[in-house]
Amino acid sequence: MDKLHKIGALGLASRLKRLSELLSKDVSAVYKKEKIDFEARWFPVVYYLLEAGEAKITEIAAELGITHTAINQLASELMAKGYIKTGRNKLDERLRLLSLTGKGMKICSELAPLWKTIKKENEKLIAEAGGGLLKELDRIESALAAQSMYRRIIYSLTGSSAGEIEIAPYEAKFKKHFARLNREWLNEYFEIEEQDELMLNHPKEKIINKGGAILFALAEGEVVGTCAIIKHKGNIFELAKMGVTKKFRGQKIGAKLLESAIDKAIQLGAVELYLRTNSRLKEANRLYMKRGFEKTRVNPFDSNSYRRETYAMKIVISKT
């Protein structure tokens, strides 16, 4: 029995990492023996593109649950090998898409029978271990999605998930955090568009000076969340650019920001508050619906102004 085995649950992350490295090392050794120029770490990106045809880096990262930075690194390695290429979307030249090259398709063809064997042997290994490994991993991932290990540990240590959350108004010193927090979730789910850049780079001019407001959530002095209330023509107000940094998600910070934003919108004279969202933003959409936002076919905005698909939601608000 080795040391990691002896320390039990304390070493869970280390054991999973060791297991992953062991399996990847053996598979890469098989590729080398079969004289196939391929590395196990490239598999998820290559297989994704094999099935999808072409995709944005942000899309691959979101679908695989791998960081944008890691996907970028893998893509660079694969481009250096000549297995993938980058191109532009025919409908929008600003969107960069990844796809397999002819050489990449050829290597996938060579790998297909080997992947079939790897899958068979993985299934046999799982069966030898009792057959429940994948289901258990599904349950662990779902549990961590609901409550991160960071939050679990902090709660056990302090009895509080994130301590006192302070909601603060816009100040010049917060400008960089408005951009940082929004770039994080935009890169996670979409491409940052021209309209996004205008607001992120000029929040005071584009939002506050036009009758809107920007709020920030602070946890022990750290800026961990933000949202904006944008004033449009007439008496139309929009909740927008709301995000909480990843390690603080699931701690009801978004809900506190939302309540503060609604209160601020009422102060600014709003009776109805609209927002634009996308079906990918499942957690945010659950929060909106729980608070009373409903889908509406009415588009109160001058134009959609975003290339990404959006739909509108609204809530009727008042001081009473």
In the chain, the percentage of residues whose pLDDT exceeds 70 is 91
Alpha-helix residue ranges (DSSP H) falling in the chain: 3-7, 12-33, 43-52, 57-64, 68-81, 102-128, 133-146, 149-158, 175-189, 194-201, 203, 253-267, 282-291
Q: Kindly report, residue by residue over 250-267, the tens digit of the pLDDT.
A: 778 888 899 999 989 988
Is the confidence at residue 233, as pLDDT, over 60?
Answer: yes
Question: Could you state, in order of their start, the residue ranges of all structural domains in the chain?
Answer: 3-146, 162-316
| CATH class of the region 3-146 | mainly alpha
Contact (CB, 8 A) for 53 and 108: no
Pairwise CA distance, residues 267 & 261, whole Å: 10
Superfamily of domain covering 162-316: Gcn5-related N-acetyltransferase (GNAT) (3.40.630.30)
The one-letter amino acid code at 78 reads: L
Summarize pLDDT for 26-70 with one digit per residue, the tens: 999 999 999 999 999 999 999 999 999 999 888 898 788 888 888
**pLDDT higher than threshold 70 for residue 158:** no
* Alpha-carbon distances of 34 from 6, 38, 113, rounded to whole Å: 37, 10, 12
What is the pLDDT, as a whole number, of residue 21?
93
- Could you report how far apart the first and last alpha carbons of the chain are, in Å? 66
Q: What is the pLDDT of residues 114-133, one digit of tens each?
A: 999 999 999 999 999 998 88
Label residue 166 by pLDDT band (50, 70, 90): confident
pLDDT of residue 320: 44
Q: What is the per-residue pLDDT for 303?
A: 58
> What integer best gives the mean pLDDT of the chain?
86
The answer, yes or no, to whether residue 211 has pLDDT greater than 60, is yes
